[in-house]
Structure 1
Amino acid sequence: MRTASHLLLNTPEIEIWPGGLLRARSNHDARALSRARHVLRRKRDGQYLAADLPEGLLALVPRLRREDGIEAALVLLDHLAEPHRSGIDAIGELPLDRLQDRLHALGLDDGYGERSGLPLVAEPAALTLAGFDRYRRPLWLLSPAARAWRSLHAAALHDGVVLEAISGYRSHDYQLGIFERKLARGQTVQDILTVNAAPGYSEHHSGRALDIGTPDEPPAEESFERTPAFAWLRDNAAAYGFVMSYPRDNPHGIVYEPWHWAWHRA
C-alpha cells in the first residue's frame, strides 16, 4: 500500500500534489503551501489553484469553482480525506481525451502516430515520488519505475558514478506547452518534432521515462555520450530494466538522445 503523502494524483485537467513539495513566488501562497496537506495544481500552466489546509480548502485563484475539471479534483480530494482511504491502491490510466485538439492546435493530423511509429501514451492516474531532479524539482515516476531508478542511481554511486535526473513524468498539456514555447521562439513544428514527440506520444507521459545527466554536463546534449555516466549506463542500465529509447538512426525521426532512458521491465 502506498500512502497518499508520496503520490501525485492525476485528473485530466488538475494534479493533486502532496503538501510540502511546491514553492510559490508570493508570500501569501508560500505560507499556504507550507501548511497544505495537498495542493491542487493546474496542468496546462502549473498554476496553484487551492491549498487543502487543516481548517479547510483555501482558493489561491479567483473563481475556483469555474476551473475546468475542478469538480473531479475535489471529489478525489474528499476521497483522500476519508480515514479508511489513507492509502491508495487503485492505479489506472487517464482517458486520451482532447488528444485531437492538441494535435490540431499544432497543425498535425490524426496520422501523426502512424507516420512516426510512436504509440499513444496515456497518463497514469497516480505517480510516485522518486526523489528530486537536478533542479530540486520533485521527480514523479510510476511506482516500479521509481524503485528501479533509485536502485540504478545507488548502484552507479557505489561505482563512483553520479547520475542526475533531469526530468521524469510530463503531462500531455505540459508537452503542448513545450511546443508553444519553442514556436514562440521561432522554431517550426517539424523542427520541434525531431527533438520532442507530439503531445500524447511522448514516453515521458507514461511515468516510465526520464532524462539522465551528470554533474558539470549540460542537460540533454549529445556530449553526454562521452561521459563516464553514459558509459556506465550503457553497460549496466539494462540490468535494472532501463533502455535508451532513441539511438542513432531510430525509425521515429527523433534525434539521437543518449540521455533519454525508459523503464520497460514488466
Structure 2
Amino acid sequence: MRASPGILLNTPRIEIWPGGLLHARSNRDARLLARARHVLRRKRDGRYLAADLREGLQPLLPSLRHEPGIDDALAALRRVHERRRTGIDVVATLPLQRLRERLQALGLDDGYGERSGLPLVPEPDWLALAGFDRYRRPLWLHVDAARAWAHLREAALRDGVLLEAISGYRSHDYQLGIFERKLARGLSVDEILTVNAAPGYSEHHGGRALDIGTPGEPPAEESFERTPAFAWLCDHAAEYGFGMSYPRDNPYGIVYEPWHWAHAPG
C-alpha cells in the first residue's frame, strides 16, 4: 500500500494516522506532529504513541517498545514505506480480538449477538478519508462508502439539500468508551443498549455507517425525520447504496434512528 494523506491504517490496538490531521497536546508534540509523516495513536484512549519522521520513528512515550500491539503497528508502517506501487490494496478485516473481554467489561456474554440479532462487525484494515464531519473531525469510512457518500452529498446539494456527517467509523475500543462514559453518567447497560450496539456489533465498526445531519438540526435526534434532508434521503439514498438501518419497531431493540444510514457492500 502506498503512503497517502487520505488513508488511516488500522491494526487491532493501534491506528496509524497520516500526518497533519491530529491536534497536538503539548509544545513538544506540536513540533513533532508538524513534521510527522504518520502518527501512531492508541485506539483505547487516543494517546499518541510515536511520530514517524523522515529520520526515523520518534517515541512520544518512554515505554513504546512494551506497548501492546506495537509490533503489528510497526509492521503496518513498514509496509507503507516498503511498497511503492500505485493503487490501493483490497480492504481486509482485522481479527475479532478481545471481543469477549469487551463484552465481559459490560456484564454481557457471548450470547449477546444471538439475542439481539445483530451481526459481528470486524474493523477494516484501512479506511479512506471522506472529508470532515460537522465538528471538523476527519471522517473515516470504508473506501466504497467514502465514494458513495461523496456522490450522495453532491446529489443532495444539487437539489438544494445540505447533508452533514455527524460520525462515521468507530473502533471496537471507541464503542466501549461510549458505554463507559454513559455508565459514568448513571445510565445502565440495558438503557445504553437501546441506543448503542455493544462493542463488536455496531455498523460503525465496518466503516460503512454514517450518522447524518443537516445544518440547524441537533445531532442524532428523532426530529431529523421532519427535515427536508431526511425526506431527500428517503427518496434518493438507495440510488447510492444507502439504507436506514434502524426504522421504527426494528427487530434489534434499537430505538428509531432516522439519522443512521449504512452503505451496503456492492
3-state SS of paired residue (1:5): coil
Distance 1:150 1:142 in 2: 12
Counterpart for residue 135 of structure 2: 135
Distance 1:199 1:171 in 2: 8
1:15 and 2:15 aligned:
yes
User: Which stretch of the first structure deviates more once superposed, 234-243 or 53-62?
Assistant: 53-62
Counterpart for residue 205 of structure 1: 205
3-state SS of paired residue (1:52): strand
The one-letter amino acid of 2:134's match is R
Asked if 2 retains the 8 angstrom alpha-carbon contact of 1:245 and 1:260, the reply is yes
Asked if 2 retains the 8 angstrom alpha-carbon contact of 1:142 and 1:208, the reply is yes
Asked if 2 retains the 8 angstrom alpha-carbon contact of 1:4 and 1:88, the reply is no
1:1-266 map, 5 Å: 4-82=4-82, 84=84, 87-266=87-266
3-state SS of paired residue (1:210): strand
Deviation at 1:91, TM superposition (A): 2.2
Deviations 1:31-87 (A, max 9, x none): 211211011000011111111011211111221111110011111112211252565
The one-letter amino acid of 1:28's match is R
Distance 2:155 2:84 in 1: 37
Deviation at 1:179, TM superposition (A): 0.3
Asked if 2 retains the 8 angstrom alpha-carbon contact of 1:242 and 1:263, the reply is yes
Deviations 1:186-237 (A, max 9, x none): 0000000000000000000011001000111110000111111111111110
Distance 2:158 2:31 in 1: 39
The one-letter amino acid of 2:122's match is A
The one-letter amino acid of 1:190's match is D
Distance 1:234 1:249 in 2: 17
Distance 2:97 2:257 in 1: 29
The one-letter amino acid of 2:71's match is E
Distance 2:77 2:192 in 1: 37
Distance 1:265 1:94, change over 3 A: closer
Deviations 1:90-117 (A, max 9, x none): 4210001111111111000111001100
The one-letter amino acid of 1:130's match is A
Distance 2:148 2:190 in 1: 34
The one-letter amino acid of 1:259's match is W
Give TM-score scaled by structure 1 length.
0.97
Distance 1:26 1:66, change over 3 A: same
Asked if 2 retains the 8 angstrom alpha-carbon contact of 1:80 and 1:86, the reply is no
Distance 1:126 1:176, change over 3 A: same
The unaligned stretches of length 5 or more in structure 2 are none
3-state SS of paired residue (1:217): coil
Asked if 2 retains the 8 angstrom alpha-carbon contact of 1:3 and 1:88, the reply is no
3-state SS of paired residue (1:4): coil
Distance 1:87 1:75, change over 3 A: farther
Identity %: 76
The one-letter amino acid of 2:52's match is D
Distance 1:201 1:166 in 2: 19
Cα root mean square deviation, aligned: 1.3
Distance 1:2 1:244, change over 3 A: farther
The one-letter amino acid of 1:194's match is T
Distance 2:3 2:88 in 1: 6
- Post-superposition, which runs of at least 4 consecutive aligned residues in structure 1 deviate over 6 A? none
Give TM-score scaled by structure 2 length.
0.97
Deviation at 1:27, TM superposition (A): 1.9
